[in-house]
Amino acid sequence: MRLTRYFMPTLKETPSEAQVVSHRLMLRAGMIRQASAGIYSWLPLGFKVLENIDRIVREEQDAMGCQQVLMPTIQSADLWRASGRYDDYGPEMLRITDRHDRDMLYGPTNEEQITEIFAGSVKSYRDLPQLLYHIQWKFRDEVRPRFGVMRGREFLMKDAYSFDISKDEARRSYNKFFVSYLRTYERLGLKAIPMAADTGPIGGDMSHEFLIVADTGESEIACHKDFLGMNLGADIDYDDNLQPIVDNFTAKYAATDDKRDEAAEAALGDDLVVARGIEVGHIFNFGTKYSEPLGAKVSGPDGEEVLVEMGSYGIGVSRLVAAVIEASHDDNGIIWPESVAPFHVGLINLKAGDADCDKACDDIYKTLKDQGIDVLYDDRETRAGAKFADMDLIGLPWQLIIGPRGLKNGVVELKNRKGGEREELSLEAALSRLTA
C-alpha cells in the first residue's frame, strides 16, 4: 500500500480526551475515530489489526474443536424473560421496541440465544459435547465508557459456549478453553495470567479471568512472579488429558483485587508481584443455570432426560487491540508484535521525487509484494523527520529506509522497531532478512 493513497489520518497533537496511552496512540495513528461515547469507527489501519486478532482467536478456537456460528446482534426480550435475566441485567442492556411494539434488545452476550438453538436441535447425549462460538458485536451501556476501545459500549467479543452431558465432561471442555486461551494470548505476544474468578451462587472452581499486566489496568492484581515468564511451549493435543497443564497454572497464586489473600501473599515473600491488570478474557462454567429454564435437555444413555451442563468463554477482541498497545509501546509510539502488525514492513523513501530513489523504492515495493509481504510504502514528498516519526508511531515491526547517499554506496538501512537497532546492509541482505 502506498501511503499517498492510504487513508491513515494521523494526528500531531495528543488528543486531550484520551487518558491512557493506547487510546492516545490509536487516535494519533489514525486507527479509530469516536462516533459517540464508547462507540468507535475502525479506520483502515485499526481495522487491519482488529482483523488480525480476530483471525488468531478464530484459528485457536477452530484448533481446539470449537465451531464458528454467527448469531444476530438483536435478540427477543422474551428469550431473556424466560431465563430471568431481562430484569436482572439492569441499565447496561440496550432495550429496543420494534414497530409492532415487541420488546427487543441489542445483545450484551448470547447465553440465551445459543441455548435456544441447542435445545431446539440436539436431543441425544450421543451428540455431545457441542462447542460453539461466534465473534460478534455486543452492546453494553457501560456507566463509564472510557479508555477508548478498552471499555466501549459497542465492542467486539468472541463468545463460546459448551454443552456437556456431565460435570466431568464439562470440566474437559473447560480445560480445552483454558489451554486454548493461553495459546491465543501467547500468539498475540501477550502474557495473560489466569486468575481464579467469582463463580457466584454456582460455586466450584471453574471460573477464571485472564489478565495482562499493564500500568493502566483497571484492577489491581497479585501473583507469583513465575507467571511473568511462563509459556505453554510445545503443541497441545486437545484430546489428551489437559488437567495437569491446567493444574500447573492454577497451583500458583494469582488473584484479582476482590480475591486477594493476605496470608498467601505474605508466604510468597519476594516471589510476589503486585501490579495492575487488564481483563482480556473470562471463562466460566455455570452448570444448568440456563439449560434448566430454557429446557436444554438430552436423552441420556439409559433413556432418561438430562439437563446439559454449560459453560461460556469470552475474549474481548476489540479490547485486545488496546491491550496489546498497553503492553507494547514506547515514547515514540506503538510496537506491534509481528503476529498482529497491520503491515510487516514500512518502506521509507527519503527523497520521494528523486528519480533514482523512486525507481529503487518502486522495485523494492514490487519485490516485497510479489513475495507476499505486506508493505506500507511511504512515498510522500515530506521531510525525513516526519516520515520517521509517523513510522515509529504506527509501530510496524521493520522499517526499510532508502536514501540517495546509501544508493550510491549500494546500501540500504534496516531498522527493527522493537529493538531500535538500525543497520546498513546490501539490499539483498535486507530483503532476505524481511522475507525470512
Q: Is residue 107 within the footprint of ligand ATP (CB under 6 A)? A: no
Please state the separation of Cα 273 from the chain's center in Å.
Answer: 24
Of the residues 281, 287, 342, 346, which one makes contact with ligand ATP according to CB under 6 A:
281
Distance CA 6, CA 4 (A): 6
Q: Is residue 289 within the footprint of ligand ATP (CB under 6 A)? A: no
Supply the minimum distance, in Å, between the C-beta of residue 142 and ligand ATP: 5
Q: Which runs of consecutive H residues, i.e. helices, occur in 37-110?
A: 44-63, 77-83, 85-88
What residue type is 243 in one-letter code?
A: Q
Q: Among candidates 318, 392, 311, which has minimal Cα distance to 348?
A: 392
Q: Is residue 220 within the footprint of ligand ATP (CB under 6 A)? A: no
Supply the minimum distance, in Å, between the C-beta of residue 407 and ligand ATP: 47
| Part of the chain binding ligand ATP (CB under 6 A), chosen from 180-188, 235-243, 314-322, 359-367 | 314-322
Of the residues 28, 48, 171, 282, which one makes contact with ligand ATP according to CB under 6 A:
282
| Part of the chain binding ligand ATP (CB under 6 A), chosen from 27-35, 150-158, 268-276, 294-302 | 150-158
| DSSP reduced 3-state for 179 | helix
Q: Which residue, 23 or 282, is less far from ligand ATP as judged by CB?
A: 282
| Part of the chain binding ligand ATP (CB under 6 A), chosen from 98-106, 147-155, 352-360, 384-392 | 147-155
Residue that has been written with the C-alpha cell 536514501 in this structure: 403
Contact 105, 141 (CB under 8 A): no
Distance CA 319, CA 297 (A): 35
Q: Is residue 152 within the footprint of ligand ATP (CB under 6 A)? A: yes
Distance CA 208, CA 178 (A): 8
| Part of the chain binding ligand ATP (CB under 6 A), chosen from 25-33, 274-282, 376-384, 423-431 | 274-282
Distance CA 108, CA 88 (A): 13
Distance CA 186, CA 163 (A): 27
Q: Is residue 29 within the footprint of ligand ATP (CB under 6 A)? A: no
What would the grid cell of residue 188 be? 498475540
Q: Is residue 314 within the footprint of ligand ATP (CB under 6 A)? A: yes
Distance CA 227, CA 186 (A): 13
Among residue numbers 242 through 271, which ones bind ligand ATP (CB under 6 A)?
A: none
Supply the minimum distance, in Å, between the C-beta of residue 100 and ligand ATP: 30
How open is the CA angle 299-75-114, to the nearest 5 degrees?
A: 25
Q: Is residue 224 within the footprint of ligand ATP (CB under 6 A)? A: no
Q: Is residue 280 within the footprint of ligand ATP (CB under 6 A)? A: yes
Q: Is residue 51 within the footprint of ligand ATP (CB under 6 A)? A: no
| Part of the chain binding ligand ATP (CB under 6 A), chosen from 151-159, 235-243, 372-380, 402-410 | 151-159
Q: Among candidates 319, 294, 68, 122, which has minimal Cα distance to 211?
A: 319
Q: How many residues bind ligand ATP (CB under 6 A)?
A: 15
* Nearby residues of 39 by Cβ (< 8 Å), 6 or more positions away: 152, 153, 154
Q: Is residue 316 within the footprint of ligand ATP (CB under 6 A)? A: yes
Among residue numbers 108 through 137, which ones bind ligand ATP (CB under 6 A)?
A: 109
Distance CA 111, CA 114 (A): 5
Q: Which residue, 140 or 387, is less far from ligand ATP as judged by CB?
A: 140
Cα 107 to Cα 83, 116, 265, 284: the distances in Å are 14, 14, 39, 19
What residue type is 275 in one-letter code?
A: A
Supply the minimum distance, in Å, between the C-beta of residue 258 and ligand ATP: 11
Neighbours of 264 (CB within 10 A): 13
Q: Is residue 279 within the footprint of ligand ATP (CB under 6 A)? A: yes
Q: Which residue, 91 or 120, is less far from ligand ATP as judged by CB?
A: 91
| Part of the chain binding ligand ATP (CB under 6 A), chosen from 8-16, 243-251, 311-319, 374-382 | 311-319
Which residues are near ligand ATP by CB under 6 A? Answer: 109, 140, 142, 151-152, 155, 157, 279-282, 314, 316, 318-319
